[in-house]
Amino acid sequence: VTGRAVYLTSRVKVTATSVRDGVVRPVRKVVSVRVAGVTACPCAKSVIQALTGEEGRDYTATHMQRTIAELSVSLRPEESVPLSSLTRMLRDSMSSPAYPGLKRLDEAEVVMRAVTKPVFIEDAVREVVSSIVRELGHLHPDDRVTVRMRSVESLHDYDMLAVYRGRLHEARALLGNG
């Protein structure tokens, strides 16, 4: 709203494994990206809509939580994935990115945008897995993928956790793509 530029942060981790039998041979590398986002609760939104008679209204209130999302892909030495794609997959799956230092008008815009895209973290994890299958089809079917989201609950006295771990061919089969 105010047009003020902000930078979204992400944490990147890359590890590599190699064996040595006369020469050093790379075996695997793991690329991980971690971001913070916001998820708006679809259940509370629908209950509030029913109680207030506002079914179908985009801006009905709901509770929100900060969600920490991490995506790790285990690759063969010759494979690569764009970090920007992994980060985008995570951010797009949630109601909104988490922003640092917003002005009040910008904060209101983020809240309004988030409540129009409510999502449970298990659905957000499925969306990331679907994006991986769609966009990273060039990877080997046995490459491993882990998607982990932890929702730091705002109303409940517990956090929610959703995790997918599997090989790319298993993800394709789960989604009916292979």
Give the integer Cα–Cα distance in Å for 93 and 149: 11
Residue 12 confidence (pLDDT): 97
Establish if 3 belongs to a structural domain.
no
| Contact status, residue 117 vs residue 130, Cβ threshold 8 Å | no
Residue 44 pLDDT > 90, yes or no?
no
Provide the number of structural domains found in the chain: 1
Contact residues for 76 (Cβ-Cβ < 8 A; gap 6+): 28, 140, 143
- pLDDT (tens digit per residue) in 49-61: 888 887 777 777 8
Structural domain boundaries enclosing 91: 11-17+25-174
Nearest of 164, 150, 160 to residue 72 by alpha carbon: 164
Residue 100 pLDDT > 80, yes or no?
yes
Q: What is the CATH number of the domain that holds 128?
A: 3.10.270.10
Establish if 5 belongs to a structural domain.
no
- pLDDT (tens digit per residue) in 146-169: 999 999 988 888 899 999 999 999
Give the integer Cα–Cα distance in Å for 95 and 77: 34
Residue 1 confidence (pLDDT): 61
The residues that bridge with 150 in the sheet, in sequence order, are 68, 161
Establish if 116 belongs to a structural domain.
yes
Establish if 41 belongs to a structural domain.
yes
Mean pLDDT of 80-106: 94
Establish if 1 belongs to a structural domain.
no
Establish if 2 belongs to a structural domain.
no
Establish if 72 belongs to a structural domain.
yes
The residues that bridge with 25 in the sheet, in sequence order, are 19
- pLDDT (tens digit per residue) in 103-114: 899 999 999 999
Establish if 62 belongs to a structural domain.
yes
Residue showing tokens 């690329």: 31
